[in-house]
Amino acid sequence: MERRRFLKVVGTGAFGLAAGRLIPTFDPLFAGSLPQTPKYWAWVTRQFNPSVDGWKRHFALMRESGVNAILPEIYDSRHAFFESSHLPVSEDRLAKILPLAKAEGLEVHAWMWSMPCNVEEVVKDHPEWFVVNRKGESATEKPAYVPYYKFLCPSQPGAQEFVRTTVKELSQIDGLAGVHFDYIRFPDVILPIGLQPKYGIVQDREYPEYDYCYCPVCRRDFEQETGTDPLKLADPAESDAWRQFRYARVRHLVNDILIPVVHEHKKLATAAVFPNWENVRQQWSTWHLDAALPMLYHKFYSKEIDWIGEQTKLQVERMQNHAPIYSGIFASHFNSDEMPQAVETALKAGASGVALFASPLMREEHWEAFAKATKVK
């Protein structure tokens, strides 16, 4: 039975940019040294929820195949799967799997959706927290692509505090190794080329209905910085200042608001990030992460396996704090023969390991191939 318990979320915006206060950042916990041996991760989607014995078998299989750390989906923008005081709780799945995973020697990093918010009360009571596109349409009323693309705006103080509260709750959980940020960005202004046919669209440039954010706070702050309302730019897509402004808003949220909370509680801060980061305004190479997991899902970009290596090398070189890069690969994109090739390609390109999306998608032959790839490293 769903337990719906809420604390009143701060809506006055006493936190963040508007208040003019920046929280000092912490040094990354990885301390500037890369792992000496490869580390392997696996995302675990919320749809996968077996019995206790099922979890034990799955964790044993993962560990035997070379996985070191798991990323269970613990907040999906609607429900928490942990004991939360400010989110609607579906079940405390984290409490169930934490001891089971640790008994198998697996690190557990809580995977949370960051900017999408589909909590009914928040959408209803705080529509001003959400992004607005160049046409003036709020994501609460006309989300891009899919109904769940109701993104919070990183410039909105109330939205900052809402996300921070979730991060703080997770960071305080004993036994958790880290907090893993997903969707820590704006909506895609241009989708990967391989996904556009799925939505029946062609995005050969930045169209207004997919271009965010033009909420009053973003417009006001940009105009204060530059003297120009972004809606009055001749071509917003060509404005480097407007692009950099949005990169900086996400960076401020990550570096100055969220990561300090994670590090205060001696947890690792990691993120699932985009290779085509410009299209989601996600300049993650400037973030103070302990590790980055770029989602190098090659078929989404109509690329071959070699592209995984090309992107890995590029991201390793770009990462400003030299945190380890773990190349994310999409399990169902490979047959059993290709899985070792993908792992080898990433490692040779400088990855500190590989992250699998997602363990429930792995068939028996995938696990066998992955085990072969990891045990020879």
Print pLDDT tens along the chain (377 aa).
Answer: 333 333 333 333 333 333 332 333 334 455 456 778 999 999 999 999 999 999 999 999 999 999 999 999 999 999 999 999 999 999 999 999 999 999 999 999 999 999 999 999 999 999 999 999 999 999 999 999 999 999 999 999 999 999 999 999 999 999 999 999 999 999 999 999 999 999 999 999 999 999 999 999 999 999 999 999 999 999 999 999 999 999 999 999 999 999 999 999 999 999 999 999 999 999 999 999 999 999 999 999 999 999 999 999 999 999 999 999 999 999 999 998 999 999 999 999 999 999 999 999 999 999 999 999 998 55
Which structure tokens are listed for 325? 């890069």
Instruction: Please name the amino acid found at residue 119.
Output: V
Cα–Cα distance measured from residue 357 to residue 354, given in angstroms and rounded to the nearest whole number: 10
Q: What are phi and psi of 83, to 5 degrees?
A: -80, 95
- Residue 9, by phi and psi: left (phi above 0), alpha (psi -120 to 50) or beta? beta
For the chain, the structural domain boundaries read 38-375
Q: Which fold has domain 38-375?
A: TIM Barrel (3.20.20)
Cα–Cα distance measured from residue 377 to residue 375, given in angstroms and rounded to the nearest whole number: 6
Cα–Cα distance measured from residue 268 to residue 177, given in angstroms and rounded to the nearest whole number: 6
Q: Which helix (H) or strand (E) element contains residue 99?
A: helix 93-103
